[in-house]
Amino acid sequence: MSTISVLGTGARVPDRIVSNDEVGAPAGVDGEWIVRKTAIRERRWAAPGEATSHLAAAAGRAALEAAGITAAQLSLIVVATSTPDRPQPPTAVFVQQQLGALGAAAFDVNAVCSGSVFALSVVEGMLSKTGGHALVIGADVYSRILNPADRKTVVLFGDGAGAMVLGPGPGPKIRHVALHTFGDLSDLIQVPAGGSRIPPDQAALDAGLQYFAMDGREVRRFVVEQLPQLTKQFLHEAGVAPDDIAHFVPHQANGVMLDTVIEDLSLSRATTHLTLEEYGNTGAASIPITLDAAARKGAFGPGDLVLLAGFGGGMAAGLALLEW
């Protein structure tokens, strides 16, 4: 088991609540259709001028307060995001500035919706060698890259940030982590324009290539087929049985799809924690937001095994086991 603990968690979502009727109207669907297809009832969208780094820094402050750690004590800040403030510099740099953590190294990780678990793994490995304290943040502002007429995507996503402070000391321990990437499926989830392959010129904008795009049917197939298999393999490697898991915190992709997946995971004694009904799919933020919500409710008890499962663009999947 790792010597690194989760010392505190925090989260921040925008103030603006966006109803299903509001988001569904331009896409030609009603609120009832959205609930039936996704189990999402509302989401939060960032205000004009509110960037990914603003939400990330606010979540980071909450996590630092919960951990009893000051920003000056941080040696590392890692932000998992696929909606950065700018293509460069890293969004973590802006978070560092806002927190006043000028002694911390700062960089981003992009594994889309699995990003928080990927970042957790990277940081745990670094701290095990260097010591110190780190802030891991998952943050996304998907509302800026959604096509309002695309009912397959616009109804799913919200904005937000969740954070964890990692370091030595008493607290939930990171027991096992596994990361997977299926690059042959990279076209299933993408934002085609904005990089070196397709610059964001007028032709790209006219074609709508700046928007988030997803092959929903194939994404669902990937999750339903791969996640149970990867999870069972992961638990075997960790030396625990499915019945040993007390809590399950999945990526908050789609509630209807999760119902199908959860049945196949055989986590018969686990409580599944969900925030998607209120916040929607918040990308890399969804796992740490949901973990923070459960932790602040006192859901986790000493010795509880908490399974985190991220999955999404890449295609990628990240699994982490925490012992509370």
Supply the residues annotated as catalytic: 113, 251, 281
d(CA 80, CA 101): 18
d(CA 9, CA 162): 7
* Contact between residue 135 and residue 116 where contact means Cβ atoms under 8 Å apart: no
d(CA 214, CA 286): 18
CA-based nearest residue to 76, from 134, 138, 137 = 134
d(CA 189, CA 294): 29
Alpha helices (runs of H) in 50-193, residue ranges in sequence order: 52-67, 91-99, 115-130
CA-based nearest residue to 148, from 38, 268, 43, 27 = 27
* Contact between residue 186 and residue 218 where contact means Cβ atoms under 8 Å apart: no
Burial class (CB in 10 A: 0-12, 13-18, 19+), 242: middle
